[in-house]
Amino acid sequence: MIDILSQYCCHCDYPIWRADLAKHRGKFNKVILYPNEYYRDLDFKAFAKKVLQETWVENHVIDWFAPGVDWRQVEVEPMLELSDSEWIYFNEQDWFVKDYDKFYEAVFKAMDEGADAIGWMNPTHFPYLHPACFFVKRELLNKTNLDFRAHSEISGGDHFCMITKDLKEMGAKIVTTEDLGFTHWEDCFHLGGVTSNFVDSHNPGFEFHRPDIFYVYNWWSRKSDVEQSLEFLELSLAIEKKLLDKYPELKNIDPEQSEWRVFYE
């Protein structure tokens, strides 16, 4: 049994992620969601809880003024408390796979063949299994220091880097998506920056993350075959206008013909 654990920003929506989850919901036990709330103008929490009737962390209070508080750490911990499956799948809404049936088949086969952890190894100066796509046995995870924090003192030491370090030191059998035959940017990829592109683009000097790929993603988000929030559709159109105003060359991209459409449609 596998539980999905994912942090979900309440000031954005992720129609493509929701559609992919619905198609493959039967492969998983619990879907445990932490509602990120950062006091922005738009709030999709009520809509998200209506369309995602899953296991949400409720009434969890974070002391943001506590010394050394790390948002990832304090939001992962209560999700873990709600999980009771043999495997945990940490997942983010901006992880995309061209063929999910083939992908999950390969992942489950690796589990049967003795893997302890499976996922996308982010190739920084301190390579680590990224929480966008990270399957791990709960028994092994519990033997780590459960340190999900970012470590700025280490070059490339982002969130989950210490979990990966602990697993390696324990001799865990780690299988990467590349090991499974899935090439990053060809068969699967972590887009990154999707949430900030939606919720922070009004800030002066903001630079969109990977605007060309995100432009296609944003367009297909409105086409996704799931219940849509009218407020989010308006936000998506407003973001598209900002993109085109800032990057006029994007007008040359046809989302219907883009190479990225296979990940989104």
Single residue among 185, 206, 224 that ends a domain in this structure? 185
Same domain, 31 and 114: yes
What letter would DSSP give residue 88? E
Domain boundary among 162, 185, 208: 185
Q: What is the model's pLDDT at position 204? A: 87
Cα–Cα dist 177/187, whole Å: 10
Structural domain total, the chain = 2
Residue-level pLDDT at 85? 98
**How many CB atoms neighbour CB 220 within 10 A?**
20
Q: Are residues 196 and 180 in the same domain?
A: no
Same-domain status, 95 and 14: yes
Q: Which residues of the chain have pLDDT under 50?
A: none
Shared-domain flag, residues 181 and 193: no
CATH label of the domain that carries residue 88 = 3.90.550.10
Let me know whether 178 and 212 are in one domain. no
Residue 135: partners with Cβ closer than 8 Å, 6 or more residues away: 2, 87, 88, 89, 90, 107, 111, 115, 117, 118, 119
Query: How far is it, in rounded angstroms, from Cα 198 to Cα 7?
Result: 16
How far apart CA 52 and CA 22 sit, in angstroms, is 9
Q: In the chain, what percentage of residues exceed pLDDT 90?
A: 88
Which residue range(s) make up the domain with 110?
2-185
Contact indicator for 125, 155 with CB cutoff of 8 Å? yes
Question: What would the two tokens of residue 225 be?
Answer: 């075959």
Shared domain for 200 and 114, answered yes or no, is no
Are residues 177 and 86 located together in one domain of the fold?
yes
- pLDDT tens-place string over residues 88-118: 999 999 999 999 999 999 999 999 999 999 9
Beta-carbon contacts of 111 under 8 Å, excluding residues fewer than 6 positions away, are 87, 118, 135
- One domain for residues 177 and 206: no
Asked if 219 and 3 count as a contact pair (C-beta separation under 8 A), the reply is no
Q: Same structural domain for residues 126 and 200?
A: no
Q: Bin 171: left if φ > 0, else alpha if -120 < ψ < 50, else beta.
A: left
The pLDDT value given to residue 39: 66
Domain boundary among 152, 185, 218: 185
Q: Do 145 and 240 lie in a common domain?
A: no
Q: Are 128 and 160 in contact (CB under 8 A)?
A: yes
Q: Show Cβ contacts of residue 184 under 8 Å, excluding neighbours closer than 6 positions.
A: 120, 177, 178, 190
